[in-house]
Amino acid sequence: MRSVGLTRLAFLTFGIALAACYTLQPARATDARLGTQVAFDVNDAGRVALGGSMGPEIAQVEGRLIGADNAEYDVAVSTVRFLDGGQQVWRGDRVRIKAEFVKSAYQRRFSSGRTVALGASLVGGVAAYVVGRSLIGSGSDGPRTPGDTGSALRPLRRP
């Protein structure tokens, strides 16, 4: 049973590590390849046009690019972020976003800086666990004799 828990923990750690190694970086919308994860910052005209179907005050639409031409992008939406900082998770619903509604475009790319930081924190965490659990020996060969604990002391006799 214990190995099942460790296996689940390993998969969870791997999933977090994989997600942390990527970040959305500015890109031209025309450079994005089909199937890649993209995000579009929506301008005021886009907020008005998309507000009825996606909700008011849209700031950014993120998802997988499933089609594109010069006039519009087809996106399987995974997340919608709002101007007030909130966000809403979607399940890949297809939305067409006209190019004129896009203020900025981002593409998910590998982040070497985040990967190094994550690797260093994982190594540090393992090292702290090993040291904290005393999994590394103290270097002495024989058994340690405990010092005097004070419980064997007798009270002084007064004359």
Radius of gyration from C-alpha coordinates of the chain: 28
pLDDT digit string (tens) for 79-106?
Answer: 999 999 999 999 999 999 999 999 999 9
14-67 per-position pLDDT tens digit: 655 555 576 777 777 666 778 899 999 999 999 999 988 888 799 999 999 999
Which residue ranges form the domains of the chain, and what is each CATH number? 24-129 (2.30.30.100)
pLDDT, position 13:
63
- CA dihedral of residues 80, 82, 87, 93 (deg, nearest 10): -20
Q: What is the pTM of this model?
A: 0.59
- What pLDDT sits at residue 116? 63
Angle at 116 between CA 113 and CA 122, to 5 degrees: 140
What span, in angstroms and rounded, lies between the C-alpha atoms of 121 and 127? 10
Beta bridge mates, 54: none
Bridge partners of 88, per DSSP, are 80
Element (H, E) at 57: none
Measured from the Cβ of residue 107, the count of other Cβ atoms closer than 10 Å reads 19
Q: How far apart are CA 159 and CA 157, in angstroms?
A: 6
